[in-house]
Every structure is written in C-alpha cells, then in structure tokens.
C-alpha cells in the first residue's frame, strides 16, 4: 500500500479543533478542514519557515516539540523539529531547497528510493572537491559517498513500540555509538 500524507482526510481533520488563535492552530485547523482551500494549502508560496510550520502543525513544529519536552528517540517523528536542528537548515529563515515540499509531494506516496533525494542534496552541496562551497552551493563536498546520500545521513531509526523505522530528519554525520542528538 502506498504511504501518503493523510492531511486531506477528514478522519485526520476531526482530530483537530480550533483551540486558540495562534498561527499554528490556525494552520492546523485550516489544513485539516474538510474543504481546505488550495490558496492556503500551497506551502510552496509560504516563506521556508512558514512552509515547514504548515506541515509541522501535524508533524511537529520546532517550538511545539520543545514545549512537549520531546527529544532524542522521542523526537524522531517530529520531522520539522529534527530538520530545523540540522546544519542544512542554517541559522536564519531556512531555504526553499530544504523545506518539506522540496523533498516530498504531500499528495503522493513517499519515495523510498534513496537516489531520488541525491539531487535535493546537491542543490546545495558541491559534488566534487575541486569546487569550493559558496554562493548558491553553501554545502561542502562529501569525502565518503557520491550517491544515496540519505542512506548514510538520514538513517532509519527504529521506534521499538511502533515496530517501524523513521528517517531521521536531523541530517548529519552519523558516528557509530553516538547518541541521538537533541
């Protein structure tokens, strides 16, 4: 069965109700509404940070994750939190090339072929040591691999009680024996 985002399904929307007027709740309510208008569900038109918050209304925003006190293994499913902790996100407002919709089509099935994501990484990382990072390619070259980047830098982490592994969206160098960050 293809795995797709369920944001449009009313069973999801019923889980959320307007509890207060904060922006996240507004987005959550709107995104989960029975007839969410396309004009609002167009994360590509939002700023990178707002776009990630939009998805984070259900997938776990950075502040929401901190408030809930989730970290380490317990934060693996909070993709926006993990992603925004990555060096790739940067310190500022992010970059359209590293939002959720840069890698995922929320209307389609999640792509499970690692090589699909290589081009996403190489939008920002230089591909050879002869090119210095800078300009529109601020990311360094990898001395270890040239393809299937996510297989090493976004490892699948098993959540024991769920019997399912989740890709760690905190893109990083993984060292054996190192505890999960944050």
Site for ligand HEC in 13-42 (CB under 6 A): 31-32
The pair of three-digit structure tokens given for residue 178, joined into one six-digit string: 């190192």
For residue 176, the SS3 value is coil
Nearer to ligand HEC, 63 or 139 (CB): 139
Q: Which two tokens stand for residue 78?
A: 């909070």
Q: Which residue, among 45, 46, 52, 7, has the nearest Cα to 29 in the 3D structure? A: 7
> How far is 68 from 84, CA to CA, in rounded Å?
16
Does 79 contact ligand HEC by CB under 6 A?
yes
Please state the separation of Cα 82 from the chain's center in Å.
Answer: 7
Q: How far is the CB of 20 from ligand HEC (least distance, A)?
A: 17
Q: Which of 4, 46, 66, 68 is in the footprint of ligand HEC by CB under 6 A?
A: 4
Q: How far is the CB of 102 from ligand HEC (least distance, A)?
A: 5
Min CB(69)–ligand HEC separation in Å = 19
Nearest residue to ligand HEC, using CB? 145
Give residues 114-153 in contact with ligand HEC (rule: CB under 6 A). Answer: 117-118, 120-125, 133, 138-140, 142-153
**Interface residues for ligand HEC in 48-67 (CB under 6 A)?**
52, 54-55, 57-59
Report the residue from 62, 75, 80, 85 that binds ligand HEC according to the rule CB under 6 A.
Answer: 80
Alpha-helix residue ranges (DSSP H) falling in the chain = 10-13, 23-32, 48-59, 62-67, 79-84, 100-103, 118-122, 149-153
* CA dist., res. 5 & res. 110, Å (int): 8
- Collapsing DSSP states into helix, strand and coil, what is residue 7? coil
Distances in whole angstroms, Cα of residue 145 to Cα of each of 57, 119, 153, 179: 34, 14, 10, 23
Query: Given the rule CB under 6 A, which residues bind ligand HEC?
Result: 3-7, 12, 31-32, 43, 52, 54-55, 57-59, 79-80, 83, 87-88, 90, 95, 97-98, 100-104, 106, 110, 112, 117-118, 120-125, 133, 138-140, 142-154, 166-167, 169, 171-173
């Amino acid at each position: 069965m293809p795995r797709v985002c369920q944001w449009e399904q009313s069973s999801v929307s019923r889980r959320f109700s307007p509890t207060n007027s904060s922006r996240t709740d507004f987005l959550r309510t709107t995104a989960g509404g029975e007839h969410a208008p396309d004009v609002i569900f167009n994360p590509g038109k939002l700023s990178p940070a707002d776009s990630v918050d939009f998805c984070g209304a259900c997938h776990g925003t950075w502040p929401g994750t901190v408030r809930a006190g989730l970290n380490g293994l317990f934060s693996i499913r909070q993709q926006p939190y993990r992603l925004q902790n990555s060096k790739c996100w940067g310190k500022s407002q992010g970059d359209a090339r590293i939002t959720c919709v840069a890698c995922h089509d929320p209307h389609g099935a999640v792509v499970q072929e690692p090589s699909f994501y290589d081009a996403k990484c190489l939008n920002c990382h230089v591909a050879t040591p002869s090119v210095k990072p800078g300009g529109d390619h601020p990311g360094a070259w990898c001395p270890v691999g040239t393809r299937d980047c996510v297989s090493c830098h976004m490892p699948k982490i098993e959540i024991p009680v769920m019997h399912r592994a989740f890709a760690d969206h905190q893109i990083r160098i993984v060292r054996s024996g190192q505890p999960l960050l944050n």
